[in-house]
Amino acid sequence: MVDGFYNAYSNLIESRLADIYKSEEYTIMTETIFHEFEQKLAAKIGDFGPEEREALFEDFQTAIFNQTHHQNKHTYRVAFNDALTFFMDTILTPKK
């Protein structure tokens, strides 16, 4: 049962994050961040050719996405655990 709960819990987090990543708001926000980042970085690496520059930008974008994805998963896990603890301690078994 614990394994089933953990799998359901992990699937819930992954599903919710996938929904967020597909949202229009998230897409606009990340495109804006990456565009600003690309402009600032391009000013600093003027000696690179277009292909090298594009490859470098893609590497940075991937690294940024992966880092924020792991941070988001951790945040959701903590929030879910806090909500579950609150539910069990306060609502399900209130202290008298």
Residue 1 has pLDDT above 60, yes or no: no
- Scan for tokens 């990340």, then name that residue: 30
Average pLDDT over residues 60-78: 87
Closest CA to 45 of 34, 31, 33, 57: 57
Confidence of residue 96 (pLDDT cuts 50, 70, 90): low
Residue 24 has pLDDT above 80, yes or no: yes
Question: Residue 86, SS3?
Answer: helix
